[in-house]
Structure 1
Amino acid sequence: MAKKDKHDDALARNRRASFNYLIGETYEAGLQLTGTEIKSVRLGQITIGDAYIMIRSNEAFLNNANISPYKQGNQFNPDPLRRRKLLLHKKEIKALDEATAQGGKTVVPLKVYIVKGFAKILIAVGTGKNNYDKRQTLKDRDLKREMNRNLKNFH
């Protein structure tokens, strides 16, 4: 039986990341969540489309990720858009900080998934694309789609 890739069952994806950025080195980080937040994440009630990573005082934080309040939670549910700490090694945080110090690079979240009961997030160092790069990406995608359509009709 083939091994299942842990990234296949993503609870949330940032689909615009590969369109807006050239994705470089990726890192897997843990998310520091409260009890009701992890329950909402397991239900797939998380969006990371507008989220970004910020590094301050040798700590990495996930900002603007929306985790909906847990329905069975009480009045003490945390703010859905609060800043959440990312659990990374010091060397990884230092590498991310050095990468973002270079011009035009940023750290973007790609996927959120569960590994052995813990919420993990796949983050990457991305370089912003220009408009002509984005047009080329669209052109390549349309060409690939057309080739698949022709192959399907050929058989």
Structure 2
Amino acid sequence: MIVSRSLPAQASHGSGGIVAPRSAADAEPGGGASHWALRVRVTWPERGVVVVSVSGEIDMASLPRITEVVRQRLTAARLHTAIVDLEQVGFASSAVLELLMLASNAAGRREVRLLVVPGTGRVSRLLELTGLSALFEQAATVDEALAQARE
């Protein structure tokens, strides 16, 4: 079972969120999630701003889970900015492009500003290789994205 939990901004990095087990060993207590286990953490660092941080793999298997979390958070009543943090993504297939396009469309319908933190790894490279980098408002870090959200 996958559980989504919204966390206050001051919550510790190791609690809450979504962990999608890839194998029976990952699902067992004490089995430990490996470096590729999908993790989605949602925080509300300030009023009207949500940060959805993703780590692990983004592929066609994980896309529905991540998309659902992002969709749910974009329906918040008083949301003005959504930040999608992909800095800790270890593997990104073309599914990450679909995720960002869906998030962008949903944000546009709600008139919510979408900021993407692609990091310096695979997501950033994929955006550059496909020429889609210019479609998304980006920030180098979550802190930078929060500063942009305040503007």
- Common fold, TM-score beyond 0.5? no
Higher relative contact order (CA 8 A, sep 6+): 1
TM-score, normalising length: structure 2: 0.24
Q: Report the structure, 1 or 2, having the larger strand content.
A: 1
Larger Rg: 1
TM-score, normalising length: structure 1: 0.23
